[in-house]
Amino acid sequence: MNYMALVWKDEYKLGIEIIDHQHQQFVMTLNDLITTLGSTKDRAVMESVFTRIGEYAKFHFDTEERYFDEFHYAGAAEHKQKHQEFREAFAKISSDYLTDHITASFNLADFLEDWLFDHVMNMDKKYVSCFKEHGLT
């Protein structure tokens, strides 16, 4: 399989600086995973990327969910459920990594690419007006 680096496009921006920056960081981390897939089978390097992705997801979800609670966002429950689904899928792939690190690494890249853009374009766009109404830009 040949993976191409992802390119952040203006159409992915929500117009909320803190969230857009975090999404861009996520794309860069995903690109690190893609680069690692193409250049090394070194488990230590791959484990480092897995760790960064897990830490990043926690940080980003905590940021969004803090604003959901603070702004009383009406779609918070549904959105938090999507975050939970991500956590569960990531935990499964991470568990699979213990027995087949190469396949799990490719599965993670596929999952993250699909999830990231679907989530940003569909779920995250739903909270933009709420966040902006509360002064986030």
This prediction's pTM: 0.90
Residue 43 near residue 101, CB atoms below 8 Å: yes
Q: What share of the chain is helix, strand, coil (3-state, %, to 5)?
A: 80, 0, 20
DSSP designation for 110: H
> Helices 125-133 & 43-71, crossing angle to 10 degrees?
50
Vertex 29: Cα angle to 99 and 97 (nearest 5): 5
Task: Determine the pLDDT at residue 4.
Answer: 79
The CATH class, in words, for 16-133 is: mainly alpha
Task: Determine the pLDDT at residue 88.
Answer: 97
Task: Determine the pLDDT at residue 122.
Answer: 92
Block mean pLDDT (10 aa), the chain, length 137: 77 94 92 79 80 94 98 98 97 93 89 90 95 96
Task: Determine the pLDDT at residue 41.
Answer: 62
Task: Determine the pLDDT at residue 40.
Answer: 60
- The domain locations on the chain are 16-133
Residues 6+ apart with CB under 8 A from 115: 86, 89
